[in-house]
Each structure stands twice: as C-alpha cells, then as structure tokens.
Amino acid sequence: MLTFDNESKAIILKSLYTLSAIITSALILSSCVTVRQGTVGVKRTIGKIDENVIPPGAKLYNPFVSKVIIVPIRTENIEVSLDLPSKEGLNVKAKISILYHIDQTKATTIVGEIGMDYESIMILPVFGAAAADVTDKYMAKDMHAGNRFEIEIAIKEQMMKIIGDRGFIIESVLMKSIQLPGRLYQSIEEKLQAEQDAQRMEFVLQKEKQEAQRRIIEAEDIRDANKTISEGLTKEIIQFKAIEAYRELSKSPNAKIIIGSGSQPILMDP
C-alpha cells in the first residue's frame, strides 16, 4: 500500500485541480460558438433542425448532441461563364455575375431542405435555365447592344419566380461581358460604320442646304435693297446728285473737260 506524506498529497491535489480546470475550460470552449455579423447560426440537435435562427453573438450549446451551422446572409457574388442561346440559334459566350443573399428567416428551411451546397443545387441550375429562357427571345446583336439591361432584369425576375419563396433574394444579374461569334461581330462593326458614314453624309448635306438657303436669303436682300433704291431715284434726285458731283469735281485743281447733255452743266478748265 502506497503512502504519501502531506507535501506529496498537496502536489497531487494541485495537479488534479489543474487538470480539472483544463478539462473544464476545454469543454466550455468547445460548447461555445461565435456567430459573426453578416451570418446567422442554425442549430442541429441529433439530426433535427431548430426552427429558431441564432443571431450574431456568442452562443452556448452541447457539442456532444448538437452542432451549430453558420449561414451567411450578407450579399454574395457568383461569377458564371456560359454560352447563351440567341433567337437566331447562335451561341453567345457571356460572363455574368449573380448578386444574391439569403433571407435570414428562411435560413433554417434552406439548411434543412437543401443543405449548405445550395449554390450548386439551387441557384446555378435555376440561373442557367432562366438565362437560356430569356436570351432565346433576343437576337445576338441585342445582347451586345442596348437590350442588355432589359435582359438582366428579365433573368432576375425569372429566377425570383422560381426560388424567391425558398429564401433566396436575387439582387442583380450583371452581364459583365458578351462575346459574339466572329462573323456576326464583324458584320455589326460594318453596319455601325455604315451608319456613321450615313450620318456624316447627312450632316454634310444639311450643311450645304443651309449654306444654299443663306445665299438665297442674301441675294433676296440685295435684290430688295436695289429695288428700294431704284424706286426712290426720281429724275429730279438724279439731276440734283449730278450737280453735286459736278460741283465737287469743279473744286479739284486738276485740268478737266466735262461734256454733258443739254440739260446738264458743262464744266471746262479755264
């Protein structure tokens, strides 16, 4: 039989207390979970999902029978590259971003019915089907031009009809890049160039037309001015103006001989 003196007993008791404290601390740490901002916790106990979500903060639970699953409810971004069908039967390569978040009130339902792999199980397949259904109604050139925003809205609405009630909120569908088939892209560029040339020619013709109208107006103004002058020149006024001209001419020191009609003065140098 082993015997211990008082000093040995004290050392053993102290070691037992230390070990007990370590075990207790480990149990406390393993039974505490921290739910961060932008996430909620879903508690599963012996395979059963608790209906109440755990809000952000610290939460104690029994790690032997329960597990807390962290579910993000912040905005998430999925980038997808795929071929979209067009109305004329072409495949248009596109890079698209899907912005979405989870309705926190449906987090327990999503974990229980779908699981944490909900992106590949639910969001991406629904997006692929909705995108193909929408773009199939548009010509390929429309996806590249002014109908892009309209297509984005239509895909978003189509997705919300299918998975909106399941707890997924689609915020935006953004078509980041569209790559048309080579020959179609070339034809679009040629068409745009032709439209620009036509607009440039229309501008030139419009400018020439305006210049022609300006010249017509100028000629009409000159004609009207001459008409006004001719109508105002009576015989008496013309004779008076001639006398004034002769008078001014007579003041010149140069030699001069002017022979006029019988009704006009005759000026000769002395």
Mean local confidence (pLDDT), 65-91: 89
Q: Is the pLDDT of residue 2 over 70?
A: no
Whether pLDDT at 21 is above 60? no
Give the residue extent of every domain in the chain: 30-71, 76-180, 182-232, 235-268
CATH 3.40.50.300 fits 76-180, yes or no: no
In angstroms, the Cα distances linking 52 to 48, 56, 106, 157 are 12, 13, 10, 29
Residue 27 reports pLDDT greater than 50? no
Tell me the per-residue pLDDT of 186-214, one tens digit each, with 9 for 90 and over: 565 566 667 776 777 787 888 888 888 88
| pLDDT at residue 230 greater than cutoff 90 | no
Residue 162 has pLDDT above 80, yes or no: yes
Write down the pTM of the prediction.
Answer: 0.59
List phi, psi (to 5°) of 81. -115, 125
Give residue 129's pLDDT.
94
Q: Where does the pLDDT of residue 174 fall: very low under 50, low under 70, confident under 90, or very high at 90 and above? A: very high
Highest mean pLDDT (candidates 37-46, 62-71, 248-257): 37-46
Mean predicted lDDT score pLDDT of the chain: 78
